[in-house]
Structure formats: structure tokens, C-alpha cells
Amino acid sequence: MHRLISSKICGLRSLSDIEAVVAAGATYAGFVFFAKSPRHVSTAQARALALAAPPGLAKVALTVNADDAMLDDLVAQVPLDMLQLHGDESPERVRAVRARFGLPVMKAVGIAEAADLDRLDLYGKVADQLLVDAKPAPGAVLPGGNGLAFDWRLLQGRRWPVPWMLAGGLTAQNVGAAIALTGARQVDVSSGVEHAPGEKSPQMIAQFVAAAKAVPAS
């Protein structure tokens, strides 16, 4: 018997990426709206990809400290199922985005040490989901997608009032151990399924999703 694990493949940029995600059986497709990222897509690109996605594949927009004007344009043009806030958004901002757009909001929280866990409790009160990611190194250009992991043992025995997703340095080779150690039911990957920055590998996507699904129930 295996655990029911959902996978999110983030940073999709082409129709072949969408096809690979669907073929692998992933649950979420993530689009990055952050100009400094090699995975950045325009609103027009994301609209075409979202329209090509089949029903049942949850479409997530990753934004970083986006203002209302940007989010207004994004939501108006791209058929989305969820907004992912991956910047320094406050709990008040998370609450305001949920109220304004009527879409579920996932808040990314970077973790490096035990002291960072309190922020998960804080955002768990206002977000619909949490993305538990590795905290970027000081001075890092990207807030995520850096291929960094954190000490997963920090999450052992921890639970929050909303669903949560594990991210940060995951690959097909380590996702099974990460799930077993943390009890995660959802996992997120971006750079871990790429053969070059921003270039997804269909084979690596398939291997990642299969490895996540293969973790036996405890």
C-alpha cells in the first residue's frame, strides 16, 4: 500500500512541459511570474499553457511581492486555480489577496532552522495552503528554485491547520526519503526536474512523480 502523494511541477514554460506533467500524473502545474527567474513566463505565455491544461490539473501562479495591479491583470487573463505568494508578503497581505481575488492562496515560507517554524504557524492562520521551502541564502537572487534543501528533521511530528507542501532541493532520488521523514502528502519540484535552468526534462518529471507515489504507507 502506498501513500496518496500529490506532486507540483513548477516553472513550466512550454506545451511539452504541460504534456509531460499530465503524462506523469502530477496534480499541480506551476507558472512563474518573476522576471529574474529562468522560468519566468509572460501573461500571454501562461494563458496559452493554462488553456492547454486538461481539467483536473490545478494551475498555480507563483508571484513575488506582486501588487494588486499585476495580480488583477494576471487573474483576468490566465485561468488559474491558485495563487502562490513567494515573496515577503505579510499575513495581512495574504488575507487581502484571498479576499480580493477569491482564489485559494498558497504562502511559501523559507525554513533554515527551528526558529523559522513559527512563521508556518503564523501563515497557517491566513493561507489556504503552505509551501515549506528552503530559505534562500543571504543575497540570493531567487526566492526559490535554487535546488537547496533544508534539514527535513525539523518538520518531524509537526502539523498545521491547512494542507502543506514540501519543497526545496527535491529530486527523484531523495523525494521518497523526504516524504518518509516529514510525513508530507504534497511535494513541489522545479530545478530538480531540469537538465538546464528553466529547461524541464519529461523523463525527470516522470521519474519524480513515480518516486513520490511509490513511497509506502507508514
pLDDT in tens, 102-135: 999 999 999 999 999 999 999 999 999 999 998 8
Q: What is the pTM of this model?
A: 0.93
Inside any domain, residue 49: yes
Q: Provide the grid cell at 88.
A: 515577503
Inside any domain, residue 162: yes
Residue 138 pLDDT greater than 60, yes or no: no
Mean pLDDT of the chain: 93
The domain in which residue 201 lies consists of 6-213
**27-70 residue pLDDT tens:** 999 999 999 999 999 999 999 999 999 999 999 999 999 999 99
Inside any domain, residue 1: no
Residue 187 pLDDT greater than 90, yes or no: yes
**Cα dist. 14→45, 125, 163 in Å?**
8, 35, 28
**Structural domain count of the chain:** 1
Inside any domain, residue 218: no
Distance between CA 63 and CA 140 in Å, rounded? 16
Inside any domain, residue 22: yes
Q: Provide the grid cell at 93.
A: 497581505
Inside any domain, residue 80: yes
Domain of 173, CATH number, reads 3.20.20.70
pLDDT at 50: 98
pLDDT band for position 217 (50/70/90)? confident
